[in-house]
C-alpha cells in the first residue's frame, strides 16, 4: 500500500533527533504559549514538504549522480552544525521572568532559523532525496501521489507534536537549559557523522 509505505518510511527518517527536530522542540519549550512556536512548526513543515516534492519529482537522480554536490553539502553542513551547536551551548537556560516578558526569537528569526536547519541540513536533504525520492519510483500515477501525500503528512503531524512535547517539558528555566545543551550535543554529533561520511565514505 503506497500510503502505509510512505507514512512509515517518512516517520523512520524524521524521528531521528537532529537539528531541525531539536529547534522545533526548543521553540515549543521556550514559548509562553504553544501558538508562539507556530512559525517554526509551519516553516519546518513547509520546508520538508518542498524537499519531499522535489525528491519525488526526480531531483534525487540528479543529486545522487553528481558526487561534488554531495561533498559540498556535507562540507557546508559540518561547519554549519558546529556553529549551531556552539551557539546553543552558550545560550544556557532561559529564565521564567524573561519568558514571561516574551524574550526570544522573533517570528522572522524563527522562520529564518527553521529554514536554515531544514534546507541547509545536508543529512536531511540526502535522506529525503535519496530515500523518499528513489522509493517513489516504485509507484506511478495515483499511487505515487498517495505515497507523496503520506510522506508529507508525517512531517506536519510530527512537527506539531514536537512543539507540544517541548511545551509540556519546558515548564522551567532549568529544563530549557538542558534542552539547549542536548540540542548542542546532537548538532555536534551530526557534524562528526557528516565529517566521517565525507572523509571515509566518498
Give the pLDDT score at 188.
81
Give the pLDDT score at 177.
66
What tens digit of pLDDT does each residue of 96-154 get? 544 444 346 778 888 888 888 888 777 777 777 767 877 787 777 888 889 899 999 99
- The CA distance from 150 to 10, in Å, is 8
Give the pLDDT score at 183.
67
Give the pLDDT score at 101.
40
159 neighbors 34 (Cβ within 8 angstroms): no
Q: Which stretches in the chain have pLDDT values below 70?
A: 15-17, 59-65, 67, 69-70, 73-74, 77, 88, 91-104, 130, 170-180, 183, 187, 190, 194, 197-198, 201-202
The DSSP 8-state label assigned to residue 106 in this structure reads -
Residue 39 is placed in which grid cell?
512559525
- The CA distance from 105 to 117, in Å, is 15
Q: Of 138, 122, 90, 103, whose CA–CA distance to 31 is shortest?
A: 103
Hey, CA dihedral for 189, 194, 198, 200, is it positive or negative? positive
pTM for the model: 0.71
107 neighbors 37 (Cβ within 8 angstroms): no
Amino acid at each position: 500500500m503506497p500510503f502505509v509505505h510512505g507514512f512509515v518510511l517518512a516517520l523512520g527518517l524524521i524521528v531521528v533527533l537532529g537539528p531541525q527536530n531539536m529547534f522545533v522542540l526548543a521553540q515549543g519549550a521556550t514559548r509562553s504559549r504553544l501558538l508562539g512556536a507556530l512559525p517554526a512548526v509551519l516553516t519546518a513543515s513547509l520546508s520538508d514538504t518542498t524537499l519531499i516534492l522535489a525528491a519525488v519529482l526526480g531531483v534525487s537522480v540528479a543529486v545522487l549522480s553528481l558526487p561534488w554536490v554531495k561533498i559540498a553539502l556535507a562540507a557546508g553542513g559540518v561547519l554549519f552544525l558546529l556553529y549551531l551547536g556552539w551557539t546553543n551551548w552558550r545560550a544556557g537556560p532561559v529564565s521564567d521572568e524573561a519568558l514571561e516578558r516574551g524574550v526570544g526569537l522573533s517570528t522572522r528569526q524563527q522562520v529564518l532559523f527553521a529554514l536554515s536547519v531544514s534546507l541547509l541540513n545536508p543529512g536531511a536533504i540526502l535522506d529525503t532525496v535519496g530515500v523518499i525520492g528513489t522509493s517513489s519510483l516504485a509507484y506511478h500515477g495515483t499511487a505515487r501521489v498517495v505515497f507523496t501525500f503520506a510522506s508529507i503528512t508525517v512531517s506536519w503531524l510530527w512537527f506539531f507534536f514536537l512543539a507540544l512535547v517541548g511545551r509540556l517539558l519546558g515548564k522551567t528555566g532549568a529544563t530549557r537549559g538542558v534542552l539547549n545543551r542536548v540540542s548542542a550535543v546532537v548538532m555536534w554529533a551530526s557534524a562528526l557523522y557528516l565529517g566521517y561520511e565525507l572523509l571515509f565514505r566518498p
